[in-house]
Amino acid sequence: MPTFERRPFKKSLDGQIDADELQRCLTQSGIAGGYKRELAAPEFQRDMSGTMGFNEFKELWAVLNGWRQHFISFDSDRSGTVDPQELQKALTTMGFRLSPQAVNSIAKRYSTNGKITFDDYIACCVKLRALTDSFRRRDTAQQGVVNFPYDDVSLSKFVTE
């Protein structure tokens, strides 16, 4: 994975970058996905400021690099893509216990011609991580079951789409 520079953080008066600057950093580093909003989300920021400091970016970079290595390890034909079966294996080893139907839905959402690129894999991982974190916050008894009002579902759909 390419390296990153500290320059964008030095240009900013407060040493922080916003979502647009984050996307520029990622694009310059060879990650082209349009998921800047998800990566600038609170799960990737300690201070919930809507901006990211250099240390937060380094942590995000480590996560992305780990996901890249993970993706490569499941790309059995070295095509730069994974198929739905490879995706299933990758998600399972990341600790996501998903039904075959859920994986099929995810594969349909994130694939082009039945293949998932690395950028789409990142988008998938970001979404799954956010959903899992949200679920865990609500699963206070750690039983794998949560109850929530309809508004939480309907509003989250509007906010995240």
pLDDT tens-place string over residues 30-46: 776 565 555 555 555 55
The tally of CA atoms less than 13 A away on the side-chain side of residue 144 is: 3
Closest to 98 (Cα-Cα) out of 66, 135, 71: 135
Axis-axis angle for helices 84-93, 54-74 (nearest 10): 130
Q: How many Å apart are CA 15 and CA 122, to the nearest integer?
A: 26
Angstrom distance (rounded) from CA 135 to CA 127:
12
Which residue, 34, 17, 1, is CA-closest to 9? 17
Q: Domain 7-160 class?
A: mainly alpha
CB 19 within 8 A of CB 36: yes
Q: What is the pLDDT of residues 93-133, one digit of tens each?
A: 999 889 999 999 999 999 988 899 998 898 888 888 888 88
Residue-wise pLDDT tens digits, 41-89: 555 555 556 677 778 888 888 888 888 899 999 999 999 999 999 999 9
Burial of residue 12 (CB within 10 Å: 0-12, 13-18, 19+) is middle
pLDDT (0 to 100) of residue 43:
56
Supply the angle between the helices 19-28 and 54-74 in degrees, to the nearest 10.
Answer: 50
- CB atoms closer than 10 angstroms to residue 135: 13
Name the pTM for this structure. 0.73
Nearest to 110 by CA among 77, 144, 86: 86
Q: Looking at residue 45, what is its pLDDT?
A: 53
